[in-house]
Amino acid sequence: MSTFIKNSSPSLAKRIEKEITNEAVEEDKKVQHALKELHNLEKADKKGTKRTDKAEKALDKAEHKEDTTQRALNKAAKKHQDAVTMISRREKELEALRVKEEKTHAALNNVKVQVEESIREKDAREKERMRRLEAASVTSSYVEGGAEAANHSPENIRSEGLPATTKPTNGPQGIPEALTAQPRQLA
């Protein structure tokens, strides 16, 4: 036991022995408690490391997903911009085609009007030629007799290539209507 106590009584030695035993038991308890606390902290540290690793993986996954989504968004934005550009181009093409169509339609109408006017003028000149031809025919038949009038009859005129669209008709008092008719006014 202790070397300091030479003249001690047995009760004192027991008491000192008990104190030393109690100190050892308490120290053992403290060490056991510290070991248990160390074990719990190591376990918590492992869990924390696992959680941190898991969180890092989740962060990497989220960043990858964000990157993929951003690329898809950029691609969709480019597609959208291309579509907007195409719409603008098609609208311009449509407007140009409409302008061209309007010009063509106006030119067509002008040509139609010109053709109709040419046809009217031709008809009017043809009627005038027929009137003169009939007048000459009637006049020559009165003047020369029947021989010359037969050469200028509408049937002979047709065979010579001149159009004979109307036959002379006699109006009142035996005068051909072509001579008494007033010329038409062109609109």
- Per-domain residue ranges for the chain? 10-34+65-180
> With bands split at pLDDT 50, 70 and 90, how would you rate the model's confidence at 67?
very high
Rounded CA-CA distance 94/29 in Å is 94
pLDDT for 88 equals 96
pLDDT for 135 equals 86
pTM: 0.41
**26-30 mean pLDDT:** 92
- Does the pLDDT value for residue 91 go beyond 50? yes
> With bands split at pLDDT 50, 70 and 90, how would you rate the model's confidence at 183?
low
pLDDT in tens, 165-176: 445 555 555 555
